[in-house]
Amino acid sequence: MSSRTDVGHVMLDVGVRSETFVATAIDAVQREGWNSHVIGLSGRGEFGVVPADRVHRTGTGTFAQRARTRLTRGTPEARFAEQALPYARARRIGLLHAHFGWAGNYAAPLAQGLGAPLLVTFYGTDATEPASGYDALFDRAERVIAVSEFVERCLRGLGYDGPVELIRNGIRLAELPARPSPPPTQTGIRLLFVGRLIPVKGADVLLRAMPAILATHPTARLDVIGEGPERAALEALASEELRLGDAVSFHGPRDHAAVLEALRSAHVLVVPSRTLPSGQAEASSMVFKEALAVGVPVAATASGGLPETCPPEFRDQLARAGDPRDLADAVAGVLEQDPAAWARRARTGRRWVAERFDAGQLGERLSECYANALERQRDSNRPRENRRARTLVPHGA
């Protein structure tokens, strides 16, 4: 393991609360022996899986630096590379892994300056609503990684015709013990929503489903964990239009430990995501996986990558995206299970997560990608391949 190069993980915002999957990926490769650094443009908080002295934020540059960039017709990506290069060289970083496609655009000139291979993971929104084109990134990247088949299809739609590594987001299963049984219902049924309050997450659809849910399960209560630009509108929808009263509580953002505690006391996690006209959709829900690991049943929609996240046995129960009535029926179908069916569902969910989404597998797959990229770079007799014109081998062949 000591012969492995240091890895620079490139992201734009360091410490985003909702991006626990990035921290999990970095922790997983560190457990495989890859010494990791985080190179970011800005930061919103601590990044616990990497020591503070291995987290480097370039910032957006001084006014004079930004002015010089404009005068010389440079780009923010080139300025980022210029500012990050001394740090990366001093730490002898030999491989870059960009998290999100837009971070890949910033990592590409840095990789060129280092002469290091670049891998980039696309997580969802970056493949459905890219802020800018990826042609230069697709040419530069040694490997492109997608977290779901849905994301891979989106990348093909953007014109990428090179090979895609399908490496799904993982969770640390050992840290998520299965609860022995569902919580008692004497004090009411607890429904839970966790996610950013933005259109693609579909919280409004869930609120519109609540009257139908309450008609058959009057003790149901919905806890909404998350923050976002739609919060005020959603609160108004719940209180003024739908008059849901104390049946819905908005709790704002919570840290990961609080989310897990809420999961353990919930009867059903509801994931009401929808596909937007732009094509944006949920790519790989982490809280869906965590609920399955803990033993919490999930009522979800058949949007984006959610069918891939759901155990095959329950996919026919997924609701139509954007349909409150169908979502209410999906929630009721879960709540009306008998105890034996509830227990079988919990066992099935945890087994599915263990087989498909355990972070140990994530670390092994990424480690293999890193080693292969470095081996190809060391093979000086092998010319660099053109990523956009090679003959493809189907995934899994």
Domain boundaries, the chain: 6-170+359-378, 174-356
- pLDDT higher at 130 or 220: 220
Mean predicted lDDT score pLDDT of the chain: 89
Range scoring the smallest mean pLDDT among 64-73, 223-232, 284-293: 64-73
| pLDDT higher than threshold 50 for residue 265 | yes
Contact 47, 14 (CB under 8 A): yes
pTM over 0.75: yes
- CB 294 within 8 Å of CB 178: yes
Host H or E run for residue 12? strand 6-14
Per-residue pLDDT band at 8 (split at 50, 70, 90): very high
For the record, the structure tokens of 4 come out as 């492995």
Cβ atoms of 137 and 110 closer than 8 Å: no
Query: Which residues, 6+ apart, have CB-to-CB distance to 139 below 8 Å?
Result: 386, 387, 388
Residues 30-75 pLDDT 10s: 999 999 999 999 876 677 789 989 999 997 655 454 455 554 457 8
> Do 6-170+359-378 and 174-356 share a fold?
yes
Q: How confident is the model at residue 18 (pLDDT cuts 50, 70, 90)?
A: confident
Nearest to 336 by CA among 132, 231, 189: 189
Superfamily of domain covering 174-356? Glycogen Phosphorylase B; (3.40.50.2000)
Give the range among 1-5, 314-318, 356-360 with minimum mean pLDDT: 1-5
Q: Which of 7-21, 94-108, 264-278 has the lowest mean pLDDT?
A: 7-21
Rounded distance between C-alpha atoms, residue 119 and residue 26, angstroms: 13
Residue 128: pLDDT band by 50, 70, 90 thresholds?
confident
Q: What is the Cα–Cα distance from 132 to 124, expressed in whole angstroms?
A: 15
**Among 95-99, 133-137, 210-214, 228-232, the least confident range:** 133-137
Residue range 139-147: average pLDDT?
95
CA dist 358 and 304 (Å) reads 21
Q: What is the pLDDT of residue 367?
A: 96
Please determine, looking at this structure, whether the domain spanning 6-170+359-378 carries the CATH number 3.40.50.720: no
pLDDT digits (tens, 9 = 90+) for 299-348: 999 999 999 999 999 999 999 999 999 999 999 999 998 888 989 999 99
